[in-house]
Structure 1
Amino acid sequence: MFSDALRRDAARIGAHLDKILSGGPDLPVTQGMRYAVAGGKRLRGFLVLESARLHGVDEAQAIWPAAAIEAIHAYSLVHDDLPCMDDDDLRRGLPTVHRKWDDGTAVLVGDALQALGFELVLDPGCHSDAAVRADLALSLARASGRGGMVLGQALDMAAETADVPLSLDQITELQAGKTGALIMWSAEAGARLGQADPKPLTDYAMALGLAFQIADDILDVEGDETTVGKAVGKDADRGKATFVSLLGLDGAKRRASELVAAACDALSPYGAQAQTLNEAAQFVISRDT
């Protein structure tokens, strides 16, 4: 069952990160790193582990890129929460890193977590073949950098000061970077580890990532701050164009459901082996956090 698999994998990824981050100097930056990677659904890490299982990859290897993507994701959240970006006080129901410590510590925590992500995919424990590790690192750099997540964040910031609200196509492009790029890398990672064709997982992740963001936009309208673990209603307060503002609440929900169906269709080459990933797609649009 998906929910059990997600909890199990989240615990394993958390234990691996705890092991990696144990020891060392007891400074705010190391404390902040442990704080930033704690908790959360760990959906991206789960996608790495589950896609690895589809390709017969040992979990002892797959846990490294699974932990890596969670470190990269945590870095992006720490920086995204800063006053110069989204200026959030809460993350996962707790004070954001810059609120618990300070802005400078948050910047360093994010920097260190980004570096850690690449350290983990390049560790020999990830794969015995250096070419496979290099492929994971290169693809992760592209997914997280100027052509992926950072590009999406830059487009999002630019949209806040634009005179004309973004169109549906522009929002789709923005979110393909900001949210979708790391989800796509996560889903493809197992195929990369197994040196297999990632195309079915690429198609799955493209639809999944967009559905995930639409669900986020819906939660910003319908969600409860205590349950969601962060402020809600911020998009409307800022007058930002979102999938909900352009499609309407019912239209956004229909589009998310269509994308989930497309994600599941993409997994047909794997047959019943992909059942857990199918359930993951359904989870994305039914979650309340």
Structure 2
Amino acid sequence: MRKRFPRLLRWVAVGAVLGVAALVIPDSAVKSTEIELVKVQRADGVDLTPEVVWILAVGSDARPGEDMTRTRGDALQLVGMNTRTGAATAIGIPRDSWVPIPGYGSSRVNAALAYGGPQLLGRTVGDLVGIQPDYVFVTRFPYFEDMVNEIGGITVHNPRPFYDENLNRKGFKSGQVHLNGYGAMAFSRIRKSLPGGDFDRSANQQRVLRGIQARVRARAAVPGFIERGVLSVMAHMHTDLSPAELFRLAQATAHVVPSKITSCVVQGSIGNVGGASVVLPYVDQARRYGNEARQDATIERC
């Protein structure tokens, strides 16, 4: 009981921060909106008591001045977290995957964000995998860099060396690599120099997510770390979630156990539609991942 008490106090503090922030942050209109966190609207609603919570994490390709929720998504990861066991899984969706978009025919999956915002993108990815996300989280890459710098950078395991003429000429060595904010962004976005192209990029995005989660978990016990993070995020976030829902998501994230994280990327063949190169995803594989992970946020094999 003594070991659990400090953690209980920490979450009481986070809850208090969320409650206060919900009152004071709307007045901070001078802050730019760098994060959008929305609850997915669907007929059966969102169950606030499931063991597994699903969030579609999206890196928006928005340029300065553009609405990040109405541009094409550059990074797409469907993340499930088991609130009971601490398990988590990420299902990567290559951005050029050619899929049906409700109401718009077929197009690249990331176009759904431009056509109908986070709600439509969530539904489109949900139709592919067979799991409708509970929430969609969208952020701009510049703020993503700031968040990584805020936590002191991250460490990832890089299976192969690679570089990019525009984003990182020096490149990334193989093995354990420490990344600052810009490095994490570049690591997540480089595609052309990777042998697997979009598939390898999606896997690198998952490595970055693992690095972020591990860093947050490692520093969670530092006094004020979680509370400052909550305030920083809320100061730049637009959301329709209540403080109670935000608190629950914060708990789910902090309780993820690194050794219980699994991740897979939906593979596919390279096709040509209207003269443009696209990924024709293996729908059966995407559905298998969804079926395996739906109940416990675990995928046994990719």
TM-score, with normalisation over the residues of structure 2? 0.32
Query: Which one has a larger percent helix, Structure 1 or Structure 2?
Result: 1
The TM-score normalised by the length of structure 1 is 0.34
